[in-house]
């Protein structure tokens, strides 16, 4: 007879998920209110979203379903509380065999260094395996002192409400600020959204932000990023320091990719003539090398034509080189979606290109 998860947790305390809060001095605060700083999300009628609902409705049913998933959402603050607790209300939880519950519905806690501005992983707030979307969780620090915190929010759940619990007598202040430049905007597929990282902080977009200190907006939509005019027009109107185009995987055919890829570039470039524009091709190149080579050629042609027309702030990342070499067999969960290792390799490439591109732009 298979051993139950609860039995394993009794044997190994490190596998326990504690969701009962017994602290008598705890006070919960809505993460949307000062001094908490919310990044990557906006408020909408139902809670939080990544883009306005009316834009999602005009784009597609898939984007409408996913636009409230809190991928890329972060909350930053500083406190001397000896613990941080959370109270989460999720409108839905996407349960999938190849994705952890921590990825779909968990929250990562990072401690930010005020001197170096770097962030170090501390703990994950895990949802109960059978969660209905509402749960509480708490983590303690070994000492009581002022710490700056970043909370990375769930990648594949819609966030209705999010509260942070601290000691009643704790000092709370704004978190560390990102560099004083506009966010990087990412547009792409389930990989961009964060599938299938083990936990939210490991999505490559979040990794790049921690490495560069630059805020970002995650517009990755699982199976639903197809370069539609409604979302292209919306993205062109955003304030941004760079744009990363990563929707190769969701273009349903080579012809669709050819019909939408260059128009997307031209729309963003018309609105933002001077920002770095980074084009990426799908990283799981080996799955179908012949087809993926043709798709890569389409994207490279957009890049080549941009260069020929004098654009010196456009960049190309070849997906074939992202998940290659000795780590290829460990870089994906399902021959498509990256593991944490795969995301780290992607983050290496994007960070390198983005850092060089922003330096050229004096950002």
**Which CATH number does the domain housing residue 167 bear?**
2.60.120.260
**Residues 239 and 287 placed together within one structural domain of the fold:** yes
- d(C-alpha 280, C-alpha 245), whole Å: 6
Sequence length of the chain is 363
Looking at residues 192-203, what average pLDDT do you find? 98
**Residues 128 and 244 placed together within one structural domain of the fold:** no
pTM, two decimal places? 0.94
pLDDT recorded at residue 21:
87
pLDDT recorded at residue 9:
56
Residue 18, pLDDT above cutoff 70: no
**Residues 259 and 345 placed together within one structural domain of the fold:** yes
Region of poorest pLDDT, from 72-81, 197-206, 315-324: 315-324
- d(C-alpha 73, C-alpha 55), whole Å: 19
Q: Which domain holds residue 343?
A: 184-360
Band of residue 325 on the pLDDT scale cut at 50, 70, 90: confident
Query: For the chain, how many structural domains are there in total?
Result: 2
In a domain, 11, yes or no: no
- d(C-alpha 6, C-alpha 147), whole Å: 33
Domain of residue 337, CATH code: 3.40.50.1110
Domain boundary among 114, 143, 174: 174
In a domain, 179, yes or no: no
Looking at residues 309-324, what average pLDDT do you find? 95
Band of residue 328 on the pLDDT scale cut at 50, 70, 90: confident
**Residues 145 and 284 placed together within one structural domain of the fold:** no
In a domain, 142, yes or no: yes
Give the angle subtended at the CA of 360 by the CAs of 359 and 363, to the nearest 5°: 45
In a domain, 76, yes or no: yes
Residue 30, pLDDT above cutoff 90: yes
Q: If you average pLDDT over every residue of the chain, what do you get?
A: 93
CA nearest to 277, candidates 249, 254, 309, 252: 309
- d(C-alpha 36, C-alpha 38), whole Å: 7
**Residues 206 and 75 placed together within one structural domain of the fold:** no
For the segment 42-73, what is each residue's pLDDT rounded down to a tens digit? 999 889 999 999 999 999 999 999 999 999 99
**Residues 327 and 291 placed together within one structural domain of the fold:** yes
Looking at residues 138-166, what average pLDDT do you find? 97
Contacts of 289 (CB under 8 A, 6+ apart): none
Band of residue 11 on the pLDDT scale cut at 50, 70, 90: low
| Residue in the block written with tokens 């043709």 | 294
pLDDT recorded at residue 98:
86
**Residues 24 and 97 placed together within one structural domain of the fold:** yes
**Residues 96 and 198 placed together within one structural domain of the fold:** no
pLDDT recorded at residue 134:
94
Band of residue 5 on the pLDDT scale cut at 50, 70, 90: very low
For the segment 155-189, what is each residue's pLDDT rounded down to a tens digit? 999 999 999 999 999 999 999 999 999 999 999 99
**Residues 308 and 238 placed together within one structural domain of the fold:** yes
Residue 103, pLDDT above cutoff 60: yes
Band of residue 17 on the pLDDT scale cut at 50, 70, 90: low
pLDDT recorded at residue 1:
32
**Residues 45 and 122 placed together within one structural domain of the fold:** yes
Domain boundary among 124, 148, 174: 174
**Residues 210 and 126 placed together within one structural domain of the fold:** no
pLDDT recorded at residue 349:
97
Domain boundary among 153, 174, 195: 174
**Greater pLDDT, 2 or 200:** 200
In a domain, 232, yes or no: yes
**Residues 203 and 144 placed together within one structural domain of the fold:** no
Cβ atoms of 284 and 339 within 8 Å: the answer is no
In a domain, 251, yes or no: yes
For the segment 68-99, what is each residue's pLDDT rounded down to a tens digit? 999 999 999 999 999 999 999 999 887 888 89
Residue 241, pLDDT above cutoff 50: yes
In a domain, 256, yes or no: yes
């Amino acid at each position: 007879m298979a051993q139950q998860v609860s039995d394993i947790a009794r044997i190994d305390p490190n596998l326990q998920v504690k969701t009962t809060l017994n602290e008598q001095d705890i006070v919960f605060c809505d993460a949307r209110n000062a001094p908490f700083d919310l990044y990557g999300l906006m408020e909408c009628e139902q809670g939080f979203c990544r883009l306005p609902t009316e834009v999602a409705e005009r784009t597609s049913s898939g984007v409408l379903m996913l636009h409230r998933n809190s991928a890329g959402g972060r909350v930053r603050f500083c406190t001397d509380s000896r613990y941080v607790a959370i109270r989460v209300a999720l409108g839905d939880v996407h349960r999938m065999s190849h994705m952890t519950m921590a990825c779909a519905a968990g929250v990562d806690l990072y401690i930010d260094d005020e001197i170096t501005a770097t962030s170090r992983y501390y703990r994950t707030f895990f949802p109960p395996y059978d969660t209905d979307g509402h749960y509480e969780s708490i983590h303690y620090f070994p000492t009581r002192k002022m710490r700056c915190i970043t909370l990375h929010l769930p990648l594949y759940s819609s966030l209705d409400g999010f509260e942070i619990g601290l000691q009643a007598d704790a000092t709370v202040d704004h978190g560390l600020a990102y560099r004083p430049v506009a966010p990087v905007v990412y547009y792409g597929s389930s990989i961009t959204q964060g599938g299938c990282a083990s936990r939210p902080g490991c999505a490559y977009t979040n990794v790049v932000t921690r490495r560069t200190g630059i805020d970002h907006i995650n517009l990755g939509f699982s199976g639903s990023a197809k370069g539609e005019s409604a979302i292209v027009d919306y993205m062109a109107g955003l304030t941004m320091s760079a744009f990363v185009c990563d929707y190769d995987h969701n273009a349903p055919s080579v012809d669709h990719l050819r019909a939408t890829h260059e128009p997307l570039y031209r729309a963003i470039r018309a609105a933002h003539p001077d920002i770095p524009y980074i084009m990426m091709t799908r990283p799981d190149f080996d799955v179908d090398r012949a087809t993926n080579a043709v798709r890569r050629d389409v994207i490279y042609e957009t890049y080549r034509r941009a260069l020929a027309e004098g654009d010196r702030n456009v960049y190309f990342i070849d997906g074939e080189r992202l998940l290659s070499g000795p780590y290829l067999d460990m870089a994906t969960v399902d021959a498509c979606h990256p593991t944490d290792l795969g995301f780290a390799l992607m983050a290496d490439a994007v960070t390198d290109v983005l850092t060089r591109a922003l330096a050229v732009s004096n950002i």
